[in-house]
Structure 1
Amino acid sequence: MTTTNQHPSTVRNADTSVPLVDLLDERWSPRSFDPQATISDEQLAALLEAARWAPSASNMQPRRFVVGRRGTATFDTILANLMGFNTAWAGSAAALVVAIAETATEEGEARTWAQYDLGLAVSALTVQAHAEGLHTHQMAGIEVDGLRAAFELPERFLPVTVTAIGVVAEAHLLPEPLAERETLPRTRLPLDELVLARD
């Protein structure tokens, strides 16, 4: 596990109702990444290993990944298949990871919980990234058909998100209005709106 010395302006703890473990309390999703920082082979392996060992319904493991590090053709292909303002900042990330749900078996049997299973894997990857001194940002604004075609994915493989991974940088490196958005207070719905019943 590695850590980085972060600038104070990039540390954004959650305003929680009860204390959480540091890896969850400190985790947030920046858009400003250091364009010079890299992710090592060891770090990348740890992130993917965390995803591999995430919970899986009936141990079916219906999740797949395409990984590209900045400076590679794979990275550029993923970046070209992002939508909207994601393209304005994601190119500075050290790596981009396409998260893919295997929605059916080769025989055509539906895997109903594939996206839930994939989400657990990406969550584990995210926590491991923070333990490695990195940050992540998941994006749903992606060109699904473009990614499918670019990486020759079968129809049963559904690209769901792309995760940017890297070393967080200061907000002012972003273009406006993204820089302002980067420093807004972190918010979540209160528990009493999320929990419908609790005894």
Structure 2
Amino acid sequence: MSQHIHELIDKRWSPRSFANKAIEMDKLEKLFTAASYAASCYNEQPWRFVYATNEYPEGYKQLFSCLGEFNQMWVKTAPVIILTLVAKNFARNQNPNAHAQHDLGLAIGNMSVQAMSMDLYLHQMAGFSVEKAIEVFNIPDDFEPVTMIAVGYLGDPSQLPDSIREMESPKRDRKNLDQLLFDGDWEKLK
């Protein structure tokens, strides 16, 4: 564990292998409550979530159908799928909200830490059809789908196809801080 960050942040990673175990409803509520406590521009809280558990197959199949083929190979073991969306405009004045995706990221950050505190894992995905999500869920024009998330307890990587199992590792490669922090000299970042 890194000596300088909280253990929940240190152990966070995005597995593709999930256990065949339902997530208790009170834990799901805690995940969404944690997200709701995130900071947002003008406190707009522009994020929205469409979710389904595999205990409700109709909604689960709808969300699953929006995923790309690669993600469908492994997501099928996750007991919960979430579609994240943001409001495109501020509710207060209908001006474009250029910070909505940032605010969603903060909400998912909160959700990630809350998940880790309950031994749950999230895997965010960009590999889905925005167009299909809009169609399937009749999403109005003033909302934009952003990501999908698989949620569950950690599973056995041996259940994954060989090609995916090779990618399954909690080891994370992170850039050094000297690659991320700078004093305004853009040449140093190249």
TM-score, normalised via structure 2 length: 0.90
Q: Deviations over 1:134-160 (max 9, x none)?
A: 111000111111111111111121110
Q: State the distance in 2 between where 1:68 and 1:184 align.
A: 26
Say whether the 8 Å CA contact 2:21–2:152 is kept in structure 1: yes
Number of residue pairs the alignment of both structures matches: 182
C-alpha change, 1:156 and 1:33, in structure 2 (3 Å) is same
Q: State the distance in 2 between where 1:186 and 1:27 align.
A: 10
Q: Deviations over 1:54-102 (max 9, x none)?
A: 1111101111110110132111111110113101011111101111011
Instruction: Could you list the structure 1 runs, at least 4 aligned residues long, displaced by more than 3 angstroms after superposition.
Output: 105-108
Instruction: Determine the structure 2 residue equivalent to 1:10.
Output: none
- 1:87 equivalenced with 2:72 (yes/no): yes
Unpaired runs of 5+ residues, structure 1, are: 1-12
Identity of counterpart residues, as a percentage?
Answer: 34
2:139 is matched with which residue: 149, 153, 173? 153
Q: State the distance in 2 between where 1:129 and 1:74 align.
A: 22
| Offset at residue 175 of structure 1 (A) | 0.4
RMSD (Å), alpha carbons: 1.7
1:69 is matched with which residue: 49, 53, 62? 53
* 1:181 alignment partner, SS class: coil
Instruction: Determine the structure 2 residue equivalent to 1:194.
Output: 180
Unpaired runs of 5+ residues, structure 2, are: 185-190
Instruction: Determine the structure 1 residue equivalent to 2:107.
Output: 121
* 1:169 alignment partner, SS class: coil
Say whether the 8 Å CA contact 1:105–1:156 is kept in structure 2: no
TM-score, normalised via structure 1 length: 0.86
